[in-house]
Structure 1
Amino acid sequence: MSQSPSVQQLDTLPGLPAEARFDFLVRSVLDNEQVWTLRGDAGTVLMSCDGDDCLPIWPHAEFARQWISGDWADCEPLAIDLAAWMERWLPGLQEDGVALAVFPGKKEEGVVLEPLEFLDVLAGSQD
């Protein structure tokens, strides 16, 4: 079911432009039926995106694992089933005012969007 990224993908994808990483994540999430984030002792991690709280998400555990260091040294990748992601997580994050940082790159840049916008992208891509 879930195909791990190659060594080459692990090296090159985080350096691609934000839109390319976004597209890769959407395809991967739909193909593998899961999304990845990080969870530590205090719960799922959040990062600041222009002053707003954002939940970082990745297409595979290996990409999330690349971020485990510093303040996130106690973290481990957390897989979220696609159905739970769409039915519970995205509406809950929207309600809590937490945006998504989609597949942040090497310099922490990436596509940031509201959870319900991402839900629309996923639903539209399933057609």
Structure 2
Amino acid sequence: MNNKEIEIISNLSGIKRYEYFIKKVVDFEEVWGLYEGGWAISESENGEPLMPFWPKKEFANLCAINEWNNYKAKHIELEDFIQEWLPGMKKDGFKPSIFWNNIDSVILDVDKLITDLEEELDKY
């Protein structure tokens, strides 16, 4: 990806970035998070625990700033993400924060994310 492409995609609305996320993680069969001795987490304005995910390494690395500045992008296999990560997050009370761009992200229930990923996978 070139810098212009990264900039354009990062500046899309939250819902457009979410749609991009769904398509790309299914295409490449991987999800990206930030890791440094543990996975990056944050919280919503309401104090809900969040775990951020991105569709590509480049987008995750752009968010490795401030409290995450020592974190590095690390991939998660899509199958593991759907079958292990997301059910575990639901059990632990975490919500996915999709495609944070240092301004906002799409925060949704685990079940909605699983449904959207499975619907996209059915197209393949």
TM-score under structure 1 length normalisation: 0.90
Contact 1:15 1:106 in 2 (8 A): no
User: Which one of the candidate residues 26, 45, 50 is aligned to 2:40?
Assistant: 45
For residues 54-65 of structure 1, the aligned pairs below 5 Å read 54-65=50-61
TM-score under structure 2 length normalisation: 0.92
For residues 1-127 of structure 1, the aligned pairs below 5 Å read 5-41=1-37, 43-50=38-45, 51-107=47-103, 109-127=104-122
The unaligned stretches of length 5 or more in structure 1 are: none
Task: Provide the rounded CA distance (Å) in 2 between the counterparts of 1:77 and 1:87.
Answer: 21
| Residue identity matched to 1:48 | E
Alpha carbon RMSD of aligned pairs, Å?
Answer: 1.1
**Structure 1 residue 21: deviation in Å?**
0.2
Q: Which stretch shows the higher mean deviation, 57-66 or 6-15?
A: 6-15
The unaligned stretches of length 5 or more in structure 2 are: none
Aligned identity (percent) is 25
Task: Note the alpha carbon deviations across 1:83-115, whole angstroms, 9 max, x for none.
Answer: 1001100100000000011101241x1210122
Equivalent pairs counted in the alignment come to 121
Structure number with the higher strand fraction is 1
Contact 1:36 1:80 in 2 (8 A): yes
